[in-house]
Structure 1
Amino acid sequence: MTLPLRPIKVLFSLSVLIFSLVTFANAQDGTVIHVWPDKVPGETAPKHPAVVTDNNSGNVTRLTDVTDPTLKVFLPDASVNNGAAVIVCPGGGYRILAIDKEGHEVAEWLTTLGYTAFVLEYRVPEKQDGALNDIQRAIRIVRSGASDWKVDPDKIGVIGFSAGGSLAARAGTMYSEDSYSPEDAIDKVSSKPNFAMLIYPAYLDKGENRSLTPELKIDDNTPPMFLFATADDTHANSALVMATALRDKKVPVSLHLLPKGGHGYGLRPGNPAGETWPSLAEKWLKEIIK
């Protein structure tokens, strides 16, 4: 017996919904979630796993050629889970992703503080529009599945490093702009992060005379932000102009500028900046999510 066309469509939609719910419910530490279950918006290359580059200098694993963006789940121990989540955006100049140094290691640190962390493999190289699609969709995925991860949907933030700091800033200031066409019920959920942490951010000063990058629209509804940089970082002006713009709009902002530390240190020991920002961020987070 052949079913009419309408019931087939209904059954298909239900099966997709059930599959999504099962995926969320069964998420374990280390689970990898594909940000786009079907076609990736604006992507012409076929989906495939990210490519690990030959450059592992500084003991850093670098990924490139990301065509199938993913979220990797890092769960805190139930005894310390504080009900908040953070999406981690590694840096790499929008060319590569320093996936361990500015991704997995940061997520593992966050779980020790009680946060559920998600490392985002966003599209590179040179796919800034696609990266914005990816972070907006990622926030919506986490918010949609918040109850399954024992997360408060109003306590979901982002942290980014270098280019990842640029992406986190874009997520925190461009959430009212849908950067892609809605695909399913997940896209009806807000993509606005509740807070953002920008660690040695880059590319935020592309305006005239090194002023704030024009696409970053700051208003009274912009979420609170934590910014950290060092004076000897060539990208340090990004943190300064962002902090000024936030202050001018009376958005809560915490800015820390150390004399030395350079750029790209993550939270590994041996660098004064890398050893300083985590404790400052930890204290700030406690105030934000209380």
Structure 2
Amino acid sequence: MFPKKVFIILVVFTAITNQLNAQNKIVALWNKIPDEIKAIDYKENQSIKEGKVQSTSQVSVPTLSIFLPTAIKPNQAAVIIFPGGGYQHLAIDKEGTKVAEWFNSLGIAAFVVKYRLPSDKIMKNKNIGPLQDAQQAVRYVRENAAKYNIDANKIGILGFSAGGHLASTLATHYEEKTYETTSKVSARPDFSLLIYPVISMQNDITHKGSQVSLLGNNPSQELLDSFSNEKRVTAQTPPTFLVHASDDTAVLPENSINFYLALKNNGVAAELHMYEKGGHGFGLGVKDTSKFWTRDCQEWLKSQGLTQ
């Protein structure tokens, strides 16, 4: 029988080893991808710089990349990250890996989703393919919360640009049955972080590239309304932190403004930061006032009891 001191050391060592083994691990999101169409000529296309994947497209096998803080803390918060790219590619480094590392520095676990992009070649209904992956990502993290020392009630989502559309779709369509599952675990995120997000599919303010990629060239008004997430907010929509720049000409700031107003009108806790300058696609912040959004986000996370 081990002396008590040796036993404690072994327990701590095992916990650290398990944590390190999970660090930066990549797991498949599905055992069986729902509504999959096999396409031999549809191959993932990665852009690599200095040995690091910068962006990727033609994703057919969705995955989760797991980033855990080095300090082991029970009941930590987690954020599931959806990179942007107009539903045509994923800015997996700037709006994925780097962001996950920043969350780890705050003591928050992070999961980067390499989700399937809408394509008639590999999915029966391209409108819901990305949403299937998003719902499954939340269920996976919640089902494995204990394994990663995560509080199952502190699992949030973050989306940039078109990834923000996917995140806001998840926040407003989490109960929608998009695939067959025996899981009883909720796909509802506990909070949302939306950074220069596409929110609406309405022609006057949408990002046209994202709209065409997700819904096709001539979508019905019913389809436009269904995926215009400012129209789908209810009192059960999760608390939300929004960031946009007034001079964003790619994704108009009205996307964030209208979503914020819908949240406010439904009594949902929400905070909107509209910076004068920053344009679009500034990631963690590059210049102008938008470079401070991470500081403001950290303060909001503190106010929600999600980080120190």
Under a length normalisation based on structure 2, what TM-score does the superposition of the two structures give?
0.77
Aligned residues: 258
Aligned partner letter, 1:37? N
Match of 1:11 in 2: none
Q: Which secondary structure state, in structure 1, belongs to the residue aligned with residue 76 of structure 2?
A: coil
Structure 1 letter corresponding to 2:193: M
> Hey, what does 1:196 align to over in structure 2?
192
Say if 1:220 and 1:251, in contact at 8 Å, map to a contact too.
yes
Structure 2 unaligned residues grouped into runs of 5+: 1-17, 120-125, 207-223
- Cα pair distance change 1:33/1:253, threshold 3 Å: same
Residue 6 (structure 1) aligns with: none
Q: Deviations over 1:56-102 (max 9, x none)?
A: 7xx98110011110000000022567610000100000000000000
Does the C-alpha gap of structure 1 residues 94 and 174 become closer, same or farther in structure 2, counting only changes over 3 Å? same
Further displaced range: 215-224 or 74-83? 74-83
Contact 2:156 2:190 in 1 (8 A): yes
Matching residue's letter, 2:129: G
Conservation of the 8 A alpha-carbon contact between 1:81 and 1:116: no
Question: Alpha-carbon deviations, 1:225-253, whole Å to 9, x = none?
Answer: 00000011121111011011111111111
| CA–CA distance in structure 2, aligned partners of residues 232 and 37 of structure 1 | 43
| Deviation (angstroms), 1:138 | 0.4
Question: What amino acid is the match of 2:149?
Answer: K
State the match for 1:13 in structure 2: none
In the alignment, the residues of structure 1 paired with residue 298 and residue 116 of structure 2 have an alpha-carbon distance, to the nearest angstrom, of 28
Contact 1:266 1:274 in 2 (8 A): no
Contact kept? 2:131, 2:166, Cα under 8 Å: yes
What amino acid does structure 1 have at the position aligned with 2:150?
A: V
Matched, 1:223 2:250: no
Once the two structures are overlaid, the 10-residue window that deviates more, 214-223 or 244-253, is: 214-223
User: What stretches of structure 1 move > 6 A for 4+ residues in a row?
Assistant: none
Tell me if the contact between 1:260 and 1:272 (Cα under 8 Å) persists in the aligned partners: yes
Q: Among the aligned pairs, what percent are the same residue?
A: 39
1:188 is displaced (CA, Å) by 1.8
Aligned to 2:287: 271
> What is the identity, as a one-letter code, of the residue corresponding to 1:230?
A
Match runs of 1:1-290 below 5 Å: 28-38=22-32, 40-45=33-38, 50-53=44-47, 61-78=54-71, 83-126=76-119, 127-182=126-181, 184=182, 187-202=183-198, 204-207=199-202, 210=205, 213-215=225-227, 216=229, 217-234=232-249, 235=251, 236-268=253-285, 270-289=286-305
Q: 2 CA distance for matches of 1:80 and 1:272?
A: 35
Question: What TM-score results when the alignment is normalised by the length of structure 1?
Answer: 0.82
Give the C-alpha shift of residue 210 in structure 1.
4.3
Matched position secondary structure for 1:153: strand
The answer (yes or no) to whether the contact 2:19–2:68 under 8 Å persists in 1 is no
Contact 1:66 1:125 in 2 (8 A): no
RMSD, matched Cα: 2.5
